[in-house]
Amino acid sequence: MTTPDFSRPVLAIDTSTAFLSLALHADGQWHGMHTEAGNRQSDLILPGIRNLLSEAACTVSDLGAIVYAQGAGAFTGLRIGIGVAQGLAVPFGIPLVGIPCLDAVAYQIPDCECVLAATDARMGEVFYAWFDTRRHERLSAYGVGKAEEIALPESCQGRQVAGAGNAFALEQPPAFAGQPFMPTAADYLRLAQSGRYPATAAEHANLLYIRNKVALTAAEQLAKKVQAAF
């Protein structure tokens, strides 16, 4: 089955940051967990899901879909999230809906014609993309780079820019007005319910990688320390 059934309970998983965020929508009720987990996401995620299912008096087999954070984000966290989603979905043929993380960030500012979604990518860079959340359009490719190098797209010229994402809490944030708003798993679930994001069979689910490099080499780390010292 690759068509989500939002009339049934739906689970959402976001492990793209240091937070573990889970949401379950069942019988019109919302159940959630959002906690700073650090490197304990793999220890906390399954007990957290069991607790939400128990609260809603349902089981994995009752789920009409599982929503997951697709990336870009923390490499290890994303792998944990999709691995758990696939492991739960495969035995019951539950469809998965991947939501790009920057989309979820952008929709913290709805009904706006020019939104910059920007999140901390570590290594002195940010993940970013431009959106029109009023017309539900992405105005640029997903990108990664220095915050100060983000350029206003032609389609946003003359429009008021609104920014969202934890990149705006960095010491060197993007050069646009913005707030460090970040989504929870419930926000991912609501975007999935919009029907604008395709579902897929669990075995075909994937992650969105904006860059292949996930860490600085030892030499690069040393060079960075040397630069900071002078």
Hey, where are the domains in the chain? Answer: 10-101+183-204, 109-169
Q: The tokens of 146 are what? A: 């220095």
Q: The tokens of 188 are what? A: 């991912």
Residue 30 near residue 87 (C-beta atoms within 8 A): no
- CA 99, 104, 106, 111 torsion: positive or negative? positive
Q: What DSSP element (H or E) covers 151?
A: none
Beta sheet of 65-71, edge-to-edge order: 29-36, 19-26, 10-14, 65-71, 96-100, 199-200
Q: What DSSP element (H or E) covers 30?
A: strand 29-36
CATH class name, domain 109-169: alpha beta
Please tell me if the domain spanning 10-101+183-204 has the same topology as the one spanning 109-169: yes
- Residues 6+ away with beta carbon under 8 Å from 154: none
Q: Where are the alpha helices (DSSP H) in 56-119?
A: 75-89, 101-106
- Residues 6+ away with beta carbon under 8 Å from 215: 123
Does CATH place domain 10-101+183-204 in 3.30.420.40?
yes
Q: Would you write out the chain's pLDDT as a tens digit for each of its 230 residues?
A: 579 999 999 999 999 999 999 999 999 999 999 999 999 999 999 999 999 999 999 999 999 999 999 999 999 999 999 999 999 999 999 999 999 999 999 999 999 999 999 999 999 999 999 999 999 999 999 999 999 999 999 999 989 999 999 999 999 999 999 999 999 999 999 999 999 999 999 999 999 998 764 444 444 344 444 345 43
- CA 128, 129, 131, 133 torsion: positive or negative? negative
For residue 19, the Cα-to-chain-centroid distance in whole angstroms is 11
- Residues 6+ away with beta carbon under 8 Å from 20: 14, 33, 34, 35, 36, 37, 40, 41, 44, 45, 48
